[in-house]
Structure 1
Amino acid sequence: MKMVKKTNPRLVTLIGDLKAATRGGGGAIWRDVATRLEKPRRNYAAVNVSKINRHTAPDDLVLVTGKVLGSGEIDHKVTVAAIQFSEGAASKIRSAGGECLKIEELVEKHPKGSGIIILR
């Protein structure tokens, strides 16, 4: 079987940075996220705002290895990091007082990776 590699330069760089963060003394969570991102895109998570609302408490850190979609409502402040956000999801998270980050930004802010909830 022919090996297919990622062609999105942002994802290739992100995967390399996540592996380097693990080797550099960061948490094992970044290796897990890198492994998930190496898989085919059809296996990426698509998480709605309502699921984030159900599975988090105020001021939680959430990581989605895929896209955050805008179906549902959120009633508390959370920080969400993902590859991509729909416009509706980003506006709902921000209007609830939360924050939308790229995964790269979350790695910089929390290199140890403690306290992060991974949703898929």
Structure 2
Amino acid sequence: MKNKIKLLGLLLVAFLFSINSYGQSKEKHNKKKDKEYYNNDNYNYNNNYDRYSKDRYDNRKNYNNQDLVGRSALNAYSTLRNRNFYEQKTHQQGGNTYKVWYNRNSRQCIKTTSRDRRITSIVPSTHCR
């Protein structure tokens, strides 16, 4: 009977030791993984966002909107809206239509000039807000 109790005691100690060592090794593994993840020199903070559209999710993107000059006004306005610009003001004078657009994310303020339904110029503006 005493031998069985000793044997059970030894098995219990061995079992508890194996659970403890498994927990410690798992904890070491997790710490090592965290250290590699956060201290890797090749790790770029925004790497997780590469799979998303930069235009939509990178709120620091400053757009060069000169690609819209010469396009139809409706097409250009639609593109600006897709780039998160919001129309602030509209003014018509002398056959030209002036619109001021603001992008809250990039804090860009621009003015578009259109004539005969075509964008003739896009320049930075200070008339937002």
TM over 0.5, shorter chain: no
Q: Which has the larger radius of gyration?
A: 2
What TM-score comes out, normalization by structure 2 length?
Answer: 0.24
